[in-house]
Structure 1
Amino acid sequence: MKKLSYSYVKDLQRYPTKAIQFGEGNFLRAFVDWQIQQMNKRGLFQGGVTIVQSMPRGRVGQLAGQDYLFTVMLEGMQNGKAVQSHEIISSVNNGINPYEDYDAYLQLAHDDNIRFIFSNTTEAGIVYHEGDALSDRPPVSFPAKLTALLYERYKAGKKGFYIIPCELIENNGKALKEIVHRYADKWQLGEDFSSWLETENTFCSSLVDRIVPGYPKDRAEKFWEEWGYEDTLIAKAEPFLIWVIEGPKEIEEELPLKKAGLNVVVTEHLKPYRDRKVYLLNAPHTTMACLARLAGIKTVGGVMEDPDFYRLIDREMFAEIIPSLDLPKEELTSYAAEIQERFRNPYMEHQLDAIALNSVSKFKARLLPILAEHVKRFHKIPSRIALALSGLLKIYGEQDPASAKAIDLPDVLKEFSMAYHSDRYVWDILSNETLWGMDLTKIDGLPAQVEKGLQLIEKEGVRRAVQQANEEALPIEK
């Protein structure tokens, strides 16, 4: 069977590079590169991508072996209908490994066609690394690499870029810009360069949403037979996507995603969209990881098929989360129903073990603000969120891979391990401000409710605890 390459597919159009992409993983290829392909098909962008490998070990070599071609599969439910499609993506022109050819990387700064920089270097990518220096080839961190490229661009006397990070941290554009300025100061690049950064470049925070499980290892050979070519870089994704970009409206002219019919919003205020996504999609995911894994459920779809756990998630969304948000209720309920359709996607085996990674920081960011706001508004502990916290304490205390593995930073796991065998386990953990950023025992009634939930899980099992939470009558806003 022929491997995917331009010798196999000869009629695909290529355009000059207009975007640099830091990262070559499944998400960016199925999100950014797929969207650029849709614009190009409509003659709206007529630009390609140069990928920069963000880590020493990466996929640029593998991509080169397929002439930077790969297939994006869309599988899932959309508007109540099943969607199954695949498309060869030709929007990536080439790739550069800065660890092997740093000069080629810096040369990108001299290309007048390039106007955009996208990135997804994981949540840990937008960080300041003290040891990075301008003389490094390359520096360690992504922001330091970017600063070096921007300085090269400045020295060449050229226009700056629209810089749109996709990392899943709050205010990612602002955070990246602050670190770039920090490197500029440390490296003493001068006031003129700092001024150029401000006036010639636009750092945009963005919110991305598309579930991309990645390479369908279990079915890849079946697809090769069906399509007639071998592709070791298939990226599987759900049909749904939204990209919210906080920036000036002029972006829509140079990056006409909306004109291509894509679900993209350019706005001056990202926060309402971020709140909606984080609290109605990510927060229930974290609840599932904290509780459903204890019942042996492996996937998000498995949660939605289980009557007890589906009811728990449904009531958490409509009775605890939505009433705690300051967004139009009609918009929230519609979005929640859309999220549940995505959760039910029969083609998407979204593993709860993957969602469970770093559950403490995820609970802190996704569920704790809702818990606190619910208590403030209704003077009542939201029972399902509290039970999720009980499940988290069960998993992190035992740290037993046979039931549900705790996957987190060593220091975090150590805090739970040290406290677990104490009679004050719940109080000691909830009062740990290093973990939560606050003393949770000061939330009236929370320690007692979490302890009660933990005891019920340990004595009668997580399913009985979930059933008991479901029996509580709460107004459901649907």
Structure 2
Amino acid sequence: MKRLSKKLIETTKEQPIKIIQFGEGNFMRGFVDWQVQEMNKQQLFKGNVAVVQPIDQGLGDMLKEQDYLYTVILEGLLNKEIINTSEVISVIDTVINPYRDWNNYLALAENDTIEFIVSNTTEAGIQYNPQDQLSDMPQQSYPGKLTALLYKRFELGKKGFTIIPCELIDRNGEKLKEIVLTYAQDWKLGNDFKQWIENENTFCCSLVDRIVPGYPRDSAAELNEKHGYEDQLMVKAEPFMLWVIEGPQALKETLPLEKAGLNVIVTDDMTPYRQRKVHLLNGPHTTMVPLALLADVETVEDVMKDQDFRYFVDHLFADELIPMLSLPENELADYAEQIKERFLNPFVHHMLTSIALNSVSKYKARLLPVLLDYQQRRSELPPYMTAALAALILSYRGEKIKPQDDEAVLAIFADAWQTPETAVEVILSKESLWGQDLTTIKELPNQVQHYIEQLETIGSRKLIQKLNKGEKVYA
């Protein structure tokens, strides 16, 4: 079977590069690039993408071998209808590896047709690295590379960009701008450059939502046969997508995603949308992962089809999450039902182990604020979220589940579990993990310790069954 290439697939004529994209992974190809393709198909954007590899080892060479073409497969339920489509995406013009071709990377600053910069370099990508210098070729951090490109653009006397990061951190655009300005100060690039950053560039905060499991290993051969070509970079994604961009309304014209019929919201304040997504989509994921894995449940769909865990998910939404959020309850309930439909997607095969990556930081962002709010309002701890915290701490002991996290985080857990009788107290006290000392939260250490003992004696499933019956599993 022949490899996917422009010899096999007819693509649109060459179009100018309008977007620089940091990140060539599954998500960006199944989310941003797919949307650019949708705009181009309707003659609304007429622009392509130059991709920059954020790390040296990336997919650039593989994409080049396929003439920068790949297939996006949308499979799943959307509004109770089954969607099953395949489409070759042809919007990537080139992939640049700044570690091997720094001059070609900086040359992007000379291109007058480029208007936008988007990125997804993982949650850890938008961070300041004090070792980065302007003379580096390249800088190690994404913000360092971006600052070097912006400075080159400034030196050429050209207009700035609209910059829309997609990293899953709160206020991502503001944090990225803050780091760029820090580099400008540290590298002594002058007040004129800082003013140009402030006045000629727009940094937008954004929120992205689409489950993109990526390369479909289990069905790749079957899909290649169906498509009539071999594609080593095909991406599977769910049909649902949402992109909330906090920025000027003029974006609706310059980046006409909404006009293309895509579920994109340009707003003055994305806060309510972020709270809804982080706590109602990501929150249940983070809650179910350690408890379900300890019960030998493997996928999100398995969780939703399991009687014990489905009851647990339903009541997590209804009793612990929705009452703590500020949007209208009926709107949150409708969104929750939409999420449950997505969780039941029979095509995605979303492995719980893949969601388990960096569980500590995910719990801190997605669940801890709700748990603390619940405890403050009701003077008691939410049972499901507290049990999930206990299961997370137990799973990081590494006996049944191999935790996936930063080395510094794993080291804290490994050291604490050397002395099991004090492990919970030590782990909850670490501000570096949780942003505060959780041993000061009334009854939390005792309750977490008790849940861990329950998990070790009766197991995760029987603990969930007890909680589902409303039994007070108190210390």
CA distance in 1, matches of 2:44, 2:321: 40
Secondary structure of the 1:260 match is: coil
CA distance in 1, matches of 2:95, 2:359: 34
Instruction: Name the amino acid aligned to 1:239.
Output: P
Secondary structure of the 1:218 match is: helix
Secondary structure of the 1:219 match is: helix
Post-superposition offset of 1:187: 1.3
What residue is the counterpart of 2:21 in the other structure? 21
Post-superposition offset of 1:437: 1.9
Q: Provide the identity percentage.
A: 53
Instruction: Name the amino acid aligned to 2:412.
Output: E
CA distance in 2, matches of 1:438, 1:235: 39
What residue is the counterpart of 2:7 in the other structure? 7
Instruction: Name the amino acid aligned to 1:394.
Output: L
User: Contact 2:11–2:90 at 8 Å: present in 1 too?
Assistant: no
Secondary structure of the 1:450 match is: helix
Post-superposition offset of 1:425: 3.0
CA distance in 2, matches of 1:349, 1:119: 26
Q: 1:9-46 CA deviation, whole Å, 9 max, x = no partner?
A: 12434311111111111110110000000011111101
Q: 1:160-209 CA deviation, whole Å, 9 max, x = no partner?
A: 00000111111111111011111111111111111111111000011001
Q: Say which is worse superposed, 21-30 or 217-226, in terms of deviation.
A: 217-226
Post-superposition offset of 1:451: 2.1
Q: Is the aligned partner of 1:415 residue 2:409?
A: no
What residue is the counterpart of 2:149 in the other structure? 149
Post-superposition offset of 1:434: 2.8
Secondary structure of the 2:467 match is: helix
Secondary structure of the 2:386 match is: helix
Secondary structure of the 2:123 match is: coil
CA distance in 2, matches of 1:358, 1:385: 17
Post-superposition offset of 1:135: 1.5
User: Contact 1:309–1:466 at 8 Å: present in 2 too?
Assistant: yes
Instruction: Name the amino acid aligned to 1:89.
Output: I
CA distance in 2, matches of 1:151, 1:434: 34
Could you tell me which of 429, 432, 435 is aligned with 2:433?
435
What residue is the counterpart of 1:353 in the other structure? 353
User: Contact 1:14–1:90 at 8 Å: present in 2 too?
Assistant: no
CA distance in 1, matches of 2:442, 2:372: 10
Instruction: Name the amino acid aligned to 2:173.
Output: G
CA distance in 1, matches of 2:222, 2:413: 45
Q: 1:57-110 CA deviation, whole Å, 9 max, x = no partner?
A: 111111111111110000111111111100011111112121222111111111
Q: What are structure 2's unaligned runs of at least 5 residues?
A: none
Q: 1:404-429 CA deviation, whole Å, 9 max, x = no partner?
A: 22222233223223333342333332
Secondary structure of the 1:75 match is: strand
CA distance in 2, matches of 1:141, 1:445: 41
User: Contact 1:14–1:91 at 8 Å: present in 2 too?
Assistant: no
CA distance in 1, matches of 2:8, 2:134: 42
What residue is the counterpart of 1:36 in the other structure? 36
What residue is the counterpart of 2:180 in the other structure? 180
User: Contact 2:285–2:355 at 8 Å: present in 1 too?
Assistant: yes
CA distance in 1, matches of 2:348, 2:445: 36
Secondary structure of the 2:421 match is: coil
What residue is the counterpart of 1:465 in the other structure? 463
What residue is the counterpart of 2:167 in the other structure? 167
Q: Is the aligned partner of 1:103 residue 2:96?
A: no
Post-superposition offset of 1:473: 8.0
Q: 1:216-258 CA deviation, whole Å, 9 max, x = no partner?
A: 1221121111111111110110000000001111111100000
Post-superposition offset of 1:445: 2.2
Q: TM-score, normalised by structure 1?
A: 0.96
Secondary structure of the 1:104 match is: helix
Instruction: Name the amino acid aligned to 2:387.
Output: L
Post-superposition offset of 1:117: 0.5
Instruction: Name the amino acid aligned to 2:275.
Output: D
User: Contact 1:13–1:90 at 8 Å: present in 2 too?
Assistant: no
CA distance in 2, matches of 1:465, 1:167: 35
CA distance in 2, matches of 1:434, 1:99: 32
Post-superposition offset of 1:304: 0.6
Secondary structure of the 2:381 match is: coil
CA distance in 2, matches of 1:192, 1:411: 40
Post-superposition offset of 1:375: 1.3
CA distance in 2, matches of 1:9, 1:196: 43
Q: What are structure 1's unaligned runs of at least 5 residues?
A: none
CA distance in 1, matches of 2:11, 2:104: 28
What residue is the counterpart of 2:443 in the other structure? 445
Alignment of 1:111-150 (within 5 A): 111-150=111-150
CA distance in 1, matches of 2:81, 2:267: 30
User: Contact 1:2–1:229 at 8 Å: present in 2 too?
Assistant: yes
User: Contact 2:371–2:381 at 8 Å: present in 1 too?
Assistant: yes
Classify 1:394/1:63 alpha carbon distance in 2 versus 1 (closer, same or farther; 3 Å): same
Post-superposition offset of 1:365: 1.2
Post-superposition offset of 1:377: 1.7
What residue is the counterpart of 2:391 in the other structure? 391
What residue is the counterpart of 1:82 in the other structure? 82
CA distance in 1, matches of 2:28, 2:175: 20
CA RMSD of aligned residues (A): 1.4
